[in-house]
Structure 1
C-alpha cells in the first residue's frame, strides 16, 4: 500500500491506495478540489465538512446520471456492453465510495 498526500480546499490529507494508483488518486482528489472550488465560487459560505458533502453529492449525481445512461444504452443494445466494462464501472464506483469514506473520517 502506498500513502499519498492530497490537497483539497487547501487542506492536506494522507490517504492510502494500492501501489501504482497514486496518480489516479491524485487526479480524483483534484476533481474533488475543483468541485469544492466551484461551490465556493457561487458564494456558498460553509464549513469544510459541508463543502466536502456538497462536492460528494455533485459527484454522486454525475455518477447516477452516468449509470442511468449506461443502463439505457445496455437496454437498447444488450450485446454492446461488455462484462469487463460493467465490472470496471463497479470497481471505480466502489473505490470512489472508499475514498469518500476515508475523507469523511479525516
Structure 2
C-alpha cells in the first residue's frame, strides 16, 4: 500500500462532478478512447480523453454526470490536450466503468 496522504493533499486533487456535454471519437489515440467535453458549472468546461469505448457510446455518455479530477496540469495526448481526469473502475476484462454520483448534484460540486 502506498504512503498515506494528508487531508491537504486530498483537497488539492479538486475532485468534482460534471456533466458530459460532448463525446467524439479519438482515432489518433493509441488505445481506443473518446474525446469528452465536461461542464463543471462555475469551474467551466474541461476536455478529457477517456478510454471508455468498451461500455459506452457517445450517445450514452452525453448528459451523464461523472466524477473527475481537475487538479492535474493539462496533458497532451497526441493532438489533443486533456484538462481533467474522468474517473472509473477497471474491470478484470479491462473495460472501464465510470465513477458517477448516484443522485444528481450541481455541476462543480466537490467530492467530500
TM-score, L = length of structure 2: 0.20
Q: Which has the larger radius of gyration?
A: 1
TM-score, L = length of structure 1: 0.21
Which structure carries more helix by proportion? 1
Q: Which has the higher contact order (CA 8 A, sep 6+)?
A: 2
